[in-house]
Amino acid sequence: MTALSFAPFQDLADKLIPHTVAEKVDGSHDVSHLHRVWSNVCAIRDKEGGDHQTLLAATLLHDCVAVEKNSPFRASASRLAAAKATELLAQMGWDEARTQAVAHAIECHSFSANITPTTLEARILQDADRLDAIGMVGVARLFYVSGRMGSQLYDAHDPQARHRELDDKRFAVDHFKTKIFTLVQGFQTATGRQMAQVRHDRAQRFLQEFMDEIGA
């Protein structure tokens, strides 16, 4: 199905990938996003533990229901994805306990859903997915999504929002302060927190240099 490796469970990955949103036109949530999240999952799991197959299924299916960022139903996306994943895994013959573990991890991964993870696998997936939203990949995704939503790069009159309210729906760079810079505080695992701090620092440097170049 894909040249990207989801070792050591490539056979399982090949069965699940057709049920993800990888074919939809959203470069911030395509199969490369799934592979980046899986790489993050593996880096965290190597130090924290966790069930590998549960983590792979949760990784590949965590965005299997697509809801746009500006949709009023955005907060329901992870619950809808969890329900779809539950049905799919049951059809594949997975036992109820592991299926529910996957569903819980998927429900909890979403920032918008604001659900506290109660299992190690759910904590790992939430961290791995949020790592993809900060750092240089997070910066790239920010401007990609802002372009799709029709946002401006920044407010030419007040790019740092010193005399106005932040509005990341109108101005892309506002999203650094409304979300990207807030994510570093919410990581669930020690390994995830260490990885997040490195990426957070990169994003901060990017914004500083961006503001310097536009004369702000």
Confidence of residue 1 (pLDDT cuts 50, 70, 90): very low
Specify the pTM: 0.90
**Is the distance from CB of 175 to CB of 146 less than 8 angstroms?**
yes
Q: Return the closest-CA partner of residue 126 out of 141, 110, 142.
A: 110
**53-90 per-residue burial string, b: 16 or more CB within 10 A, e: under 16:** ebbbbbbbbbbbbebebeeeeeeebbbbbbebbbebbe
Contacts of 121 (CB under 8 A, 6+ apart): 50, 51, 54, 55, 58, 101, 102, 104, 105
Radius of gyration of the chain (CA): 18
Residues 34-45 pLDDT 10s? 999 999 999 999
* Dihedral sign, Cα of residue 171, residue 141, residue 111, residue 149: positive
The pLDDT of residue 74 is: 56
| Percent of the chain topping pLDDT 90 | 75
Residues 124-139 pLDDT 10s? 999 999 999 999 999 9
Structure tokens at 68: 């746009």
Structure tokens at 213: 């170049």
